Structure 1
Amino acid sequence: MTEEYKAKVFKSGNSVALRLPKALGIAEGDDIVIAPHADGSFTFWKEDDGLKVLMGLYGSFSPGFMSEGRGDIEQEERDWSPRKPKGKAA
């Protein structure tokens, strides 16, 4: 999609809403995923297109991405023993 669209945010009940142009191909009832970014921008896509979006990211990372690994991630040991249901005496 090469066109740029502008839209206004408006209040709808206790929420805000964004009216999107029909030309974007989003239909009433479509489930949308919205991903906020650190710079305050957002990316959105149809939930059904998630795999296509993920595959589109392939190759978009810089060559040095994670070249030093993820770093140390300390995690506590977890208790995996079965727990008794709440409200029932033992």
Structure 2
Amino acid sequence: MGKEYRAKSFKSGNSVAIRMPAALGIEPDREWTIVEADGKMTIEPAANPMKKIDVSGFWGKAPGLQLPPREDFEERPSALAPRLPSGRS
């Protein structure tokens, strides 16, 4: 078994918190999973969520780029109606 540490719980708002000793090397702002079974608690680091890429900065970076027309589907009649001459459907 590993080294034993003692920690004291305290009230923090409507929660109870436990300060973890710095000797454990736990980095701040990390999420943890706590499992309680038979009166014992197991604390493990939560899986890191996949990071999302912000693509908003790419808009306008290629001003001469023209998108090709989509030919993999037929347009709906409701989309064609405004472009057809009057009296045709």
TM-score normalised according to structure 1 size: 0.48
TM-score normalised according to structure 2 size: 0.49
